[in-house]
């Protein structure tokens, strides 16, 4: 049996807990960021994602209506999730050489939810 090449972490949020438009006290933001990091790390460990070396991560928010939303606003949640993958030792750091972060997506579906998709990338061999 071969390991999956794509891992889907179903986050326990109906909407992004951190957005670029939020204006909140720094302590509340730090607490939310810490919680998202911890949740992502816990889910990654439970999914038994092995150390990948390099990966691509994508955040997908499924919504049930066509109300206008800006995908850029999801970037703070994506950043906290990426840091959670580092905390879980999936990658050594979330620098561009080790982790490619795709622009978050907002898709129409039947059930609201957030999913983090982690895909391994081949290690680059120096020339």
Q: What is the mean pLDDT of the chain?
A: 92
CA distances from 121 to 33, 57, 101 (A): 26, 10, 12
pLDDT value of position 89: 96
Q: Which residue has the tokens 């509340």?
A: 28
pLDDT value of position 3: 52
Domain ranges in the chain are 7-121
Whether residue 41 has pLDDT greater than 60: yes
pTM: 0.89
Q: Which fold has domain 7-121?
A: 60s Ribosomal Protein L30; Chain: A; (3.30.1330)
pLDDT grade, residue 1 (50/70/90)?
A: very low
As beta bridge partners, residue 59 has: 116
């Amino acid at each position: 049996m071969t390991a999956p090449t794509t891992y889907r972490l179903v986050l326990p949020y109906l909407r992004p807990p951190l957005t670029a438009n939020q204006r909140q006290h720094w302590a509340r933001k730090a607490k939310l960021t810490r919680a998202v990091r911890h949740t992502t790390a816990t889910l990654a460990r439970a999914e038994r994602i092995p150390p990948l070396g390099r990966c691509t991560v994508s955040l997908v928010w499924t919504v049930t209506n066509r109300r206008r939303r800006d995908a850029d606003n999801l970037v703070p949640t994506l950043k906290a999730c990426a840091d959670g993958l580092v905390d879980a030792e999936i990658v050594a750091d979330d620098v561009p050489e080790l982790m490619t972060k795709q622009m978050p997506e907002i898709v129409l579906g039947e059930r609201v939810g957030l999913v983090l998709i982690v895909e391994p990338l081949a290690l680059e061999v120096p020339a």
